[in-house]
Structure 1
Amino acid sequence: MILHSLNLLQISKRNPVNATDPFTEMQQQDGTASLTHAEWLGLLIDREATSRETKRFESRMRTAKLRHVGASPEDVDYKSRRGLDKALFQQMLTGRWIKDKRNLMITGPCGVGKTWLACALAQSACRDGVTVLYKRMPRLFDELELAHGDGRFPRVFKALTKTQLLILDDWGPDRLDASQRRDLMEIVEDRYEVGSTLITSQLPIDAWHDVIGEPTFADAILDRLVHNAYRIELDGQSMRKTKLKTGDESTQN
């Protein structure tokens, strides 16, 4: 307790403005005047710990660059008719699959909420201290092509392989070229049993082999991605159309 208090004192000296705010706010709160010194100091330490964790969470969210930043686990729509298995999805929200270095495939037609659900899982992971990176597949391949040309490839590749959860959104339907197959193979190989990969696609998993194109690459890539993966297979009509009909603009698409 004493060492922690000394650390807080050092922080206060380095950041006098920020350090004063908690004191002032706590002094203005009802009931704090009756607290003992130890109780008051304990509350201040708890506040500091909460503040630091919040900042770390916000930093992880910025690094993740999610498409739907506001996608929250608490807001998941389990009532819409899209075949979402509530028990399975809530199991995914525990993050155990990430700790076990397993993958997750979310498939289904356009507009049923694949990307939104992926981002909700990502936010949950960020809350748990997991590093996350979101990439749309078409833009990722464009980024990798440019990185090969300007010398940034090692840095971009490291970011893709070292993050604990990599989200690859919108797999297919365009067939991969030779360079894209090689890059994807290297990413998947380096992440195998090291990190978790979440892929969303309008195509059923059975069609992914044709998207990769070359059978040898396809077998190797899919073996590393699919064999230990959980699957969430959605169906039904586009939720965008459904929400428009009901006048609800908060669609999970």
Structure 2
Amino acid sequence: MNTTLQRPAALSVRGVAKSFGTTPVLRGVDFDVEAGTVFALLGSNGAGKTTLIRILATLLQPDSGTATVLECDVAGEPESVRRAISLTGQFAAVDEVLTGRENLHLVARLRHVDRPAQVADEMLRRFSLDEAGDRRAGEYSGGMRRRLDIAMSLVGDPPILFLDEPTTGLDPQSRIEVWNLVRELVAAGTTVLLTTQYRDEAEHLADRIAILHEGRIARQGTLAELRSLLPRRQPVLIEPEPTLEDIFLALVSNASEPVAGAGVDS
């Protein structure tokens, strides 16, 4: 399988291992992430995804191996690494008592960004939250809270964003909002390292995918490269039925329009 990078590596991981007590969690992980792309770590719960993200974010020391972010060593140059990255965890880290604008203003001040009020207004517009900017974040939908959370992560324009299970607990419509947002960020030049247990999420978003299983990379490559590992299926001549997700999204996207053949709840 061809693993040659076409662009410079924004992140490079070599032989990273980590155990907690006598339990090994990472067993020698290797991969590179090209600048301006989405790299997905796909694995089930307990595969080691969050542990790896915490190591790359300088929150945890590896037992062995090396990792660099924009050529800065994660263990040896943590301050330089932190200036280059931002981390969005599994659950939105917004203050639900504050408004969306106040959340962004607070983060801008903590990061010593010039003109924090102006930055807050710009981020609200950029993430389509300007009309909700003066509402308490506790009143936001799940998708809006996640957008606000990512907006807060991007105050100061860090070039690399870690998204750890970003759509956990979101409804289908909110998931698609987050997916569209990730695409927009990458189109603008942001590098995204995404961890997910959802195969469709990796399939829709990632330029490259690494399958993490029991602390090891089982295989990595583009979607086409990974598909080539299995024999091609025989064509199915039966027209597939729409999925429940297709139906749900069609209904909520056109709530004002009647759906042919639909009954009426009484």
Shorter-normalised TM range:
0.3 to 0.5
The structure having more radius of gyration, on CA atoms, is: 1
Task: Give the TM-score taking structure 1 as reference length.
Answer: 0.41
Task: Give the TM-score taking structure 2 as reference length.
Answer: 0.39
More helix as a share of residues = 1
More strand as a share of residues = 2
